[in-house]
Amino acid sequence: MTTPVEKVLYTAKATATGGRDGKVASSDGKLDVVVAPPAELGGTGNGTNPEQLFAAGYAACFQSAMTTVARRLRVDVTGSVVTAEVGLGAIAGGAYGLQVALVVSLPGLEQDVAQDLVEKAHQVCPYSNATRGNIVVDLKLA
């Protein structure tokens, strides 16, 4: 089931040339990076790759969603850290797919409070909503 956006607040635009072995740039020029397959996939590793870019975006977005939820719940998340681990691998039918582990550090919070906060942030985060039902996203407390 797809959920349409009711009102677009911002649109990011990026253009790739050369695929996994080329360049990616945003329309405003703030992102302009060389992409290259990682050595683990037989590439040179002399650039970033789509999985790293996805991990960076997801980690930042989830951190913001978590901060928003924490504010609503009056929970202090000072010093929190989110690390996204994006795995690329084969899926059924000879295609490729992704999986994600979000590793969240919430120093000073009790385990049950931290777990509740992470699960609520997972319902709010746009990346989580985009991936839900499509790929495995594992939530882990560090």
* Domain span at 1: 1-48
Q: Output the CA torsion 126→128→130→134 (10° steps).
A: 180
pTM score, whole prediction: 0.95
Number of domains in the chain: 2
Q: What is the pLDDT of residue 2?
A: 81
Dump pLDDT digits (tens) for 21-62: 999 999 999 999 999 999 999 999 999 999 999 999 999 999
Dump pLDDT digits (tens) for 96-121: 999 999 999 999 999 999 999 999 99
Same domain, 94 and 29: no
Q: What is the pLDDT of residue 3?
A: 83
Same domain, 55 and 70: yes
Band (pLDDT 50/70/90 cuts) for residue 132 is very high
Query: 100 and 85 in contact (C-beta within 8 Å)?
Result: yes
